[in-house]
Amino acid sequence: MQMPRFNTPLLAPQLMLALVLGACSPPTFVRTAPLAQAAVTASSGLREPAAGEAVIVINNNASPGTHVGIFAGMRLNDPAGSYLGTRAMDENWPGPSLADYVEFQKGDGDNIQIYRFRLAPADFAALDARMAAAGPTPPLFCAVAVQSLIAGLGPFKDIPAAGWATPASLGEQLERLVASRASAGQCVQPDNRPC
């Protein structure tokens, strides 16, 4: 069997076009109603984000981290991610859920951390407004986008906006925050066990 031949000069522009189109897809989706329990596809036992809760999902399946996304209540921001575009191809998809988002991230492996934080109403409103106003994110800037969304708000008051960050470096900041103040938030793994 002969291997297919690729036109190498055309491969780079095609790859760049795919990256640009992926970055231009809307990063935010808001469910308007809670999901029915049957719509949650994972058996992890993860509860959906509550009103007033920020949930940051970090995929750490590569050394600098693979990806990061954030839920604020029922709003998901998946900067430079492919989750929304991929799942939306299924006409029966009920919309994003935390359990489904985590399962999607596990396609790279099981090294996923889920950081959960309750925010005061004013801080949650500010986060929600920032997420609603967020535009497309270029590839490799998902951690910058999420860190900038949470910077300075509530439990994240000491986290600055970032010019560069990786999912792993954002996770380290969140881990220090959780470890230093137990009331600040918690970290769980995809099976809902503590990190």
**89-98, 129-138, 176-185: which range is least confident on average?**
176-185
Domain boundaries, the chain: 45-188
Supply 33's token pair. 């109603």
When pLDDT is averaged across residues 141-150 and rounded to a whole number, the result is 96
Name the pLDDT band for 2 (thresholds 50, 70, 90).
Answer: very low
Name the pLDDT band for 184 (thresholds 50, 70, 90).
Answer: confident
Kindly report the number of other CB atoms within 10 A of residue 2's CB atom.
4
At residue 126, what are phi and psi to the nearest 5 degrees? -65, -45
pLDDT of residue 183: 67
Tell me the per-residue pLDDT of 11-41, one tens digit each, with 9 for 90 and over.
Answer: 444 444 344 434 434 455 555 555 444 344 4
Tell me the per-residue pLDDT of 75-109, one tens digit each, with 9 for 90 and over.
Answer: 999 999 999 999 999 999 999 999 999 999 999 89
At residue 50, what are phi and psi to the nearest 5 degrees? -80, 165
Name the pLDDT band for 180 (thresholds 50, 70, 90).
Answer: confident
pLDDT of residue 30: 59
pLDDT of residue 22: 43
Kindly report the number of other CB atoms within 10 A of residue 37's CB atom.
7
pLDDT of residue 61: 93
Decide: pTM greater than 0.85. Answer: no
Mean pLDDT of the residues in the chain: 83
pLDDT of residue 162: 87
Q: Tell which phi-psi region holds residue 115, choosing left (phi > 0), alpha (psi between -120 and 50) or beta.
A: beta
Number of Cα atoms under 13 Å in the Cβ half of residue 193: 5
pLDDT of residue 28: 57
pLDDT of residue 41: 42
pLDDT of residue 45: 81
